[in-house]
Structure 1
Amino acid sequence: MEKLRIDKWLWAARFYKTRSLATEEVNKGRVQVGGQDVKPAREIKAGDHVTLRSGPVVRTVVVVGISQARGPAPVAQALYSETPESLQARTAAAEQRRLAPEPAHSLDHGRPTKRQRRDLDQVGQGWGDRWSASVDD
């Protein structure tokens, strides 16, 4: 049975752009095999379940093939098959991100300009000597 290091397989399957990035992700605990954290030197074989997290996206794939070389995308996609639960969870998460409002869009303006800050300071003169909005006793 053919085996290959997990970092090499992740690179060959085009989950990560470089092998060193794949190694870093494995070391950070973002890649699991069979539900357990692994080290970059862990060997995988066909039939292993690999869970990997890339940003907010969590994927669970089954290893179908082993390749020592990084090939074109169609060849790389033939090295694994994503589980139906993973596909469903990814599409649901993508839909939720699409419908969720972007927090930065709620901001009308950025930092005030010097003129706007001076105008705010003049309006603030009505507060008197108080430096806080709390109620004085």
Structure 2
Amino acid sequence: MPEKEKLRIDKYLWAIRMFKTRTLASDACKAGRVKLNGTNIKPSHEVKTGETYQISKGPDRKVILVAGLLENRVDAKKAVDYYQDITPIEQTTTFKSMFHAPVLKRDRGTGRPTKRDRRETDDLKDNFFEKPEEEKEG
């Protein structure tokens, strides 16, 4: 694909497959979910190679570095060549998913939990997020 010298940010984000449609990319820019160095940008902002953008898309936060300009949408394998994902590991969803509470399941056919079962479940959930006594004191 030939590189273009002037390219809008909404078209670039659509072309590298950050957003499903160009309209969604444009709306994200208007809503302030696409930032350049911490400042909101308009959908008509011109992309330059080497710039770093912060993109918020639902619970996901991404930081991308523009490696090349891409005018038309291409398949995902080729699109990866035109940007670098430099998102810190603390902001990725895989990192956050490691800290979720365990899922409590009941055996099928055991019926509704009794009042006693419910209290035990609530106590287990409440104590899961508290620090042990040794860590609180020190």
Which bin holds the TM-score, normalised by the shorter protein?
A: 0.5 to 0.7
- Asked if 1:101 corresponds to 2:82, the answer is no
Q: How does 1:71-110 map to 2 (within 5 A)?
A: 71-83=74-86, 86-91=87-92, 93-101=93-101
Runs of 4+ in 1 over 3 A off after TM superposition: none
Compare CA radii of gyration and give the structure with the larger one: 1
Q: Give the RMSD, CA atoms, in angstroms.
A: 2.3
Instruction: Tell me which residue corresponds to 1:20.
Output: 23
Structure-1-length-normalised TM-score: 0.67
Structure 2's unaligned 5+ residue stretches are 107-138
| Residue number among 72, 78, 88 corresponding to 1:69 in the alignment | 72
Structure-2-length-normalised TM-score: 0.66
Output one character per residue of 1:86-109: Cα deviation in whole Å (capped at 9) or x when no partner.
Answer: 141234x4233343138xx67x9x
Q: Secondary structure at the match of 2:64?
A: strand
Structure 1 distance, partners of 2:62, 2:38, is 12
Report percent identity of matched pairs.
33
Structure 1's unaligned 5+ residue stretches are 109-137
C-alpha displacement of 1:28:
0.7
Output one character per residue of 1:92-128: Cα deviation in whole Å (capped at 9) or x when no partner.
Answer: x4233343138xx67x9xxxxxxxxxxxxxxxxxxxx
Number of matched pairs? 104
User: Which residue identity is paired with 2:48?
Assistant: K
Instruction: Tell me which residue corresponds to 1:117.
Output: none
Q: Secondary structure at the match of 1:78?
A: helix
Structure 1 distance, partners of 2:65, 2:96, is 25
